[in-house]
Amino acid sequence: MNNVQLSYTFHAIVYHAAIINYRVYGWFHSVTGNLYLYHTPPSMRFRLIPFVITGTRILLGLIMFTAGMSKLFHGAFPGLIGPVWLTDELRKYGLEYLGQFIAWSQAVIGLLLLTQRFATLGAVMLLPMLLNIFMVMLSLGIHYSEPGHINSAFNTSIIIAFLLLLNAALLLYDFHKLKFIFDENADFLKTRKVKRRNRMADVIVMAGMLICLISPLLFSVNKMASYGVVAIGLMVCMIPLFLKKNEAFC
């Protein structure tokens, strides 16, 4: 191979490498572009912050969703945090419906956070939920603690305190949406219409959430079918994530 052929070969390799790199970058940008939250307030221009916020929402969403579903599935659904026995324990004191309410609320809040489109609402609803769980576990930990020993309830309260810090970070990030609560002159909001980038995507997400929430009702009939319904519901919820980047999140 002479120098001319070698030069042509080298340039051909460089050219094709550049084309492959361009296509890979374009694909990577199209996939990861949906992970950026394009409603970032002006004070937050670092691209790392949306990644962290999205990851925090997913983490808290998974914790709440699996915690609620594990209670509704009577411990047969994998959960990241307990206690699964909450409903059974509350039943002893005639508070079974309270346990059911907590379980359903955890599942709904988890889905709101996971879907991202209603993450702000999920973060707002999560605050009183975590505060109540924290106080219950802290009270149980103090009441049933033994000298020199720390029981599981007290350990759980420490974990919940950490989750409260994460939730506070989410609320702080979305403060530009919530700050009008503290505004004494917010009459202009009465005439302002709710703006959504893609209402059809909202409908799809809500349909997926409804499918997920139907699954516990099927558990006593067919366990495997109930798991399949959960999977279908989650996949439906994820459909809007494949939309163009300015409509994937709200």
The domain of 55 spans 36-178+196-242
Residue with tokens 């359903």: 104
On whether residue 173 sits in a domain, the answer given is yes
pLDDT at 27 over 60: no
Q: How confident is the model at residue 223 (pLDDT cuts 50, 70, 90)?
A: confident
Q: How confident is the model at residue 81 (pLDDT cuts 50, 70, 90)?
A: confident
| End-to-end CA separation in angstroms for the chain | 59
Return d(Cα 179, Cα 105) in angstroms, integer: 25
On whether residue 170 sits in a domain, the answer given is yes
Return d(Cα 26, Cα 212) in angstroms, integer: 34
On whether residue 116 sits in a domain, the answer given is yes
Answer whether 182's CB lies under 8 Å from 173's CB: no
On whether residue 238 sits in a domain, the answer given is yes
Mean pLDDT of 191-208: 85
On whether residue 211 sits in a domain, the answer given is yes
On whether residue 60 sits in a domain, the answer given is yes
pLDDT of residue 11: 43
Lowest mean pLDDT among 27-41, 66-80, 98-112, 113-127: 27-41
Output DSSP code: residue 186: -
pTM (global) more than 0.75: no
Lowest mean pLDDT among 17-21, 44-48, 228-232: 17-21
On whether residue 101 sits in a domain, the answer given is yes
On whether residue 93 sits in a domain, the answer given is yes
pLDDT at 93 over 60: yes
Structural domains counted in the chain: 1
Cβ neighbours of residue 52 closer than 8 Å, sequence gap 6 or more? none
**How many alpha carbons fall within 13 Å on the CB side of residue 172?**
11
pLDDT at 45 over 70: no
Return d(Cα 145, Cα 140) in angstroms, integer: 8
Determine the 3-state secondary structure of 2 from DSSP: coil
Cβ neighbours of residue 102 closer than 8 Å, sequence gap 6 or more? 68, 71, 86, 87, 129, 133
